[in-house]
Amino acid sequence: MTISFERHLNPNPTPDAEREEILKAPVFGAKLTDHQVLIVWEKDKGWHSAQVIPYGPIMMDPSAAVLHYGQEIFEGIKAYRHQDGSIWTFRPMENAKRMQRSAKRLALPELPTELFLQSLKELIAVDGAWVPAPVDEKTLYFRPFEIAAENFLGVRAAHRAEYRVIASPVGPYFTGGLKPVKIWIALDSARAGRHGTGEAKTGGNYAASLQAQNEGYEHGCSQVMFLDAESATYIEELGGMNLFFVYKDGSVTTPALDGTILHGITRSSVIQLIKDRGLKLEERKITLEEVRQGMNAGDIVEVFACGTAAVITPVGQFLSKNETLGQENSEPGQLTASLREELTGIQYGTVEDRHNWLVKLS
Ligand code: PLP
Ligand code: COI
């Protein structure tokens, strides 16, 4: 399904000099481009009124369903500029499909895959100049999202929804670069339960993670690790990233997708790159106790987190109110650093894209 987009250009775009200044050192999510995509869905009409409009506030009735019942989903995906000036994105069909699964779980309408891809191309057609040059891991981060936009306080799936895409030029998510980060272990709060919304990319999951994140900040940690809600025994994921553990025999594990963990696209790409190297990769249940013993005994030699925003980030320590695992000021692991180089190389077009993960936007 392709539909034609109306284009209403921003009459007051950011001056070139100001944009260039922003692109020198972009801060994740702090500045947005000049336009946004909007596509409307109504129960009796389906998707319609696709348009690119100036970036700006959303006029919303205070009774809009999303403000009360949290019927919202989103995605995160980046645009990479290559050396020849062309602009590419990474595995967008996977984001489109995940957004459809999130929509289903949140009783929102599913945006067709081709329309998702088209929406990114339409935004790049007007805001392509916002994609930074390929240095210092700079990219343009798209934030596609969908909200229940019906004015009605009854609790039921909304009959009107809006899909929008906004975009922000970004540098590394963690300002320390490859410096290993500290992770707070959430012992008193859970992010997702059985048959809940953990697998969906929906705002409520992130709201549920913020109390523990604040606790983590107080202890010098930059992210939170969640355990399974039922037994607080098994490692699930971080607030916004998936986790991998590297053992001294060269094998790698990551928590299996059990219904409560986000199906990370970086995770699935990293799994492929690890298998390509002929290393043993297991997706399975991993207990906190296994990680405790493994890190203390030196059997687990590297830990890293991954996601679109974070790319691949080494984890140095896990902290909780009871313990500290790992060493202060450790160095990033070898496999972590080399996977990060390979993945970003593919994304920026300097390493062969042997799995055909890249899609050209412009
Ligand atoms: N887990 C959570 C909770 C996330 O928010 C993200 C980020 O999108 C990820 C994992 C990593 O997913 P992806 O690699 O698709 O960005
Ligand atoms: C992403 O990586 O795209 C996310 O949505 C995670 C968040 C930490 C920004």
Q: Which ligand 1 atom is the nearest neighbour of the CA of 242?
A: 10
Q: What is the pTM of this model?
A: 0.97
pLDDT of residue 178: 84
307 Cα: distance to centroid of ligand 2 (angstroms): 7
* Among 269, 309, 345, residue whose Cα is nearest residue 94: 269
pLDDT of residue 315: 97
- Strands (DSSP E) along the chain, which ranges? 6-7, 35-42, 46-54, 72-74, 77-81, 87-90, 139-148, 160-170, 181-185, 223-227, 235-238, 242-247, 252-255, 281-284, 300-307, 311-319, 324-325, 358-360
> Which residues lie with the beta carbon below 6 Å from any ligand 1 atom?
76, 237, 240-242, 262, 264-267, 307-308
Q: Which residue's alpha carbon is at the smallest distance from atom 11 of ligand 1? A: 307
327 Cα: distance to centroid of ligand 1 (angstroms): 26
Domain containing 254 — which CATH number? 3.20.10.10
Based on the domain organization, do 16 and 163 belong to the same domain?
yes
Based on the domain organization, do 200 and 324 belong to the same domain?
yes
* Among 252, 322, 316, 325, residue whose Cα is nearest residue 295: 325
The answer, yes or no, to whether residue 177 has pLDDT greater than 90, is no
Q: Which domain holds residue 190?
A: 181-346
Based on the domain organization, do 163 and 185 belong to the same domain?
no
Based on the domain organization, do 42 and 61 belong to the same domain?
yes
Q: Please report which ligand is nearest the Cα atom of 142.
A: 2
Q: What is the pLDDT of residues 196-249, one digit of tens each?
A: 999 999 999 999 999 999 999 999 999 999 999 999 999 999 999 999 999 999
Q: What is the pLDDT of residues 109-159, one digit of tens each?
A: 999 999 999 999 999 999 999 999 999 999 999 999 999 999 999 999 999
CA 304 – CA 242 distance, rounded (Å): 8
- Residue indicated by tokens 């020849």: 84
User: Average pLDDT in the 308-331 region?
Assistant: 95
- Total domains in the chain come to 2
Based on the domain organization, do 137 and 244 belong to the same domain?
no
Distances in whole angstroms, Cα of residue 206 to Cα of each of 212, 217, 298: 11, 16, 33
Residue ending a domain, choose from 170, 200, 218: 170
- Concatenated DSSP letters of 32-82: --SEEEEEEEETTTEEEEEEEEES-PPP--TTBHHHHH--EEE--EEEEE-
Q: Answer yes or no: is 355 within a domain.
A: no
**Ligand 2 pocket residue status of 308, Cβ below 6 Å:** yes
Q: Answer yes or no: is 22 within a domain.
A: yes
The answer, yes or no, to whether residue 357 has pLDDT greater than 80, is yes
Based on the domain organization, do 141 and 161 belong to the same domain?
yes
Q: At what angle do helices 92-105 and 113-127 cross, to 10 degrees?
A: 120
pLDDT of residue 170: 97
Based on the domain organization, do 90 and 189 belong to the same domain?
no
Tokens of 355: 């799995």
pLDDT of residue 253: 98
CA 239 – CA 246 distance, rounded (Å): 21
**Ligand 2 pocket residue status of 309, Cβ below 6 Å:** yes
The answer, yes or no, to whether residue 176 has pLDDT greater than 80, is no
Based on the domain organization, do 161 and 220 belong to the same domain?
no
Based on the domain organization, do 159 and 14 belong to the same domain?
yes
pLDDT of residue 230: 94
Q: Answer yes or no: is 360 within a domain.
A: no
Q: Answer yes or no: is 233 within a domain.
A: yes
CA atoms within 13 A on the CB side of 181: 28
**Ligand 2 pocket residue status of 202, Cβ below 6 Å:** no
Based on the domain organization, do 202 and 342 belong to the same domain?
yes
CA 237 – CA 172 distance, rounded (Å): 20
SS3 293: helix
Confidence of residue 271 (pLDDT cuts 50, 70, 90): very high
Based on the domain organization, do 23 and 152 belong to the same domain?
yes
CA 143 – CA 78 distance, rounded (Å): 9
Based on the domain organization, do 26 and 108 belong to the same domain?
yes
Confidence of residue 3 (pLDDT cuts 50, 70, 90): confident
Domain containing 114 — which CATH number? 3.30.470.10
Q: What is the pLDDT of residues 70-115, one digit of tens each?
A: 999 999 999 999 999 999 999 999 999 999 999 999 999 999 999 9
Q: Please report which ligand is nearest the Cα atom of 242.
A: 1
